[in-house]
Amino acid sequence: MHDNNQQRADVARMVASTVEGEVPASQSKTFRAAFADLLQGARQRELWFMLGIQDIKQRYRRSVLGPFWITIATGVMAAALGLLYSMLFQIPTAQFLPHVTVGLIMWNFISGAIKEGSTVFIENEGLIKQLPAPLSVHVYRLVWRQTLFLAHNLIIWVLLIIIFPRHLGWEFLLIIPGLALLLINGVWVAMFFGIVATRFRDIAPLLEALTQLLFYVTPIVWMTDTLENQGGAVSERAKLAQLNPLYHYMEVVRAPMIGQPVEAYHWWIVIGCTLAGIGLAALAMRQWRFRVSYWV
């Protein structure tokens, strides 16, 4: 009903009598239209909810274990890297393995939002041209699918807490706002890079390479504490990790899950980056949202 009223209003505006030479102002390139797209997409949650589940079913069709293959692959990778680097850095396995495992789990979500987000509109070309739905539906579908993968991988974290028990105090509740911020960032990252990469097709392979590089410069298979404890020049270089925004995103989610405190400045940096990212995505939507259907 809301969409029909909006269409009638648009038609009335276009056919209304105007002063000679006056052209009705377009409402497509406004922030109001951009945020309206996000709200309308959120209201159609049943659509992207079912599409996200269908994506997983299609990917693991005729598979016995289905999406749990992702859990197995992540668990094997975490165990291999955790055991190897714990011996190389001489860190107790009970301390290092949870650090690596939770880092990999969160990294899978972050990298998925970046890499798949850059092709989200290209891969949904048919639906965009045939289905009269807000552009944000496809972004919500992607983030929902990555959330389901994240939920499957959290089984590994539960097993680690059982094998290596640790005290999880009230700070464990910080995982709720941490994951919420991660999901919000997944939306703006997929929306922004999806629009830009649809226009400039070289962006997607470039992001693929940069994401791989970010994996090595983000404290996932290494710890900043280990480098800082060495002192000297190595300790100073370890502070460069603070310049990596993904390090702070990791900390606000990983630290509560492994029973470690989170310093306040991590939260402020993540919140600041989130607000800046939302503004950037809103600007991209205002300028180019209506052109995506022509670019795909």
pLDDT digits (tens, 9 = 90+) for 229-242: 666 655 666 677 77
* Domains identified in the chain, total number: 1
pTM as predicted? 0.84
Query: Could you tell me if residue 7 is inside a domain?
Result: no
Q: Identify the band that residue 20 occupies on the pLDDT scale cut at 50, 70 and 90.
A: very low
DSSP assignment string, 178-189: HHHHHHHHHHHH
Which of 69 and 9 is assigned the larger pLDDT? 69
Query: Could you tell me if residue 291 is inside a domain?
Result: yes
Query: Could you tell me if residue 53 is inside a domain?
Result: yes
Q: What is the pLDDT of residues 147-187, one digit of tens each?
A: 999 998 999 999 988 888 887 878 888 999 999 999 999 99
- Tokens representing residue 159 in the block: 């097993």
Q: What is the mean pLDDT of residues 265-289?
A: 93
Q: Identify the band that residue 17 occupies on the pLDDT scale cut at 50, 70 and 90.
A: very low
Q: What is the pLDDT of residues 89-103, one digit of tens each?
A: 888 888 889 999 999
Which of 119 and 67 is assigned the larger pLDDT? 119
Type of residue found at 101: T
Give the pLDDT confidence score for residue 227 in this predicted structure.
67
pLDDT at residue 19 above 60?
A: no
Query: Could you tell me if residue 5 is inside a domain?
Result: no
Give the pLDDT confidence score for residue 234 in this predicted structure.
57
Give the pLDDT confidence score for residue 266 in this predicted structure.
92
Give the pLDDT confidence score for residue 161 in this predicted structure.
87
Give the pLDDT confidence score for residue 119 in this predicted structure.
92
For 119, 210, 228, the CA distances from 207, given in Å and listed in that order, are 11, 5, 30
Which of 85 and 3 is assigned the larger pLDDT? 85
pLDDT at residue 25 above 60?
A: no
Query: Could you tell me if residue 193 is inside a domain?
Result: yes
Q: Identify the band that residue 85 occupies on the pLDDT scale cut at 50, 70 and 90.
A: confident
Query: Could you tell me if residue 113 is inside a domain?
Result: yes
Query: Could you tell me if residue 136 is inside a domain?
Result: yes
According to the per-residue pLDDT averaged within each range, which of 35-49, 91-105, 269-283 is highest? 269-283
Q: Identify the band that residue 291 occupies on the pLDDT scale cut at 50, 70 and 90.
A: confident
Look up the domain containing 183 and give its range.
30-295
Hey, is 283 helix, strand or coil?
A: helix
Query: Could you tell me if residue 25 is inside a domain?
Result: no
pLDDT at residue 87 above 70?
A: yes
CA gap 179, 257 in Å, rounded: 11
Which of 72 and 6 is assigned the larger pLDDT? 72
pLDDT at residue 29 above 90?
A: no
Q: What is the pLDDT of residues 205-225, one digit of tens each?
A: 999 999 989 998 888 888 877
Q: What is the mean pLDDT of the chain?
A: 84
Cβ(15)–Cβ(110) below 8 Å = no
How many CB atoms sit inside 10 A of residue 77's CB?
A: 15
Cβ(71)–Cβ(156) below 8 Å = yes
How many CB atoms sit inside 10 A of residue 218's CB?
A: 20
Give the pLDDT confidence score for residue 12 in this predicted structure.
58
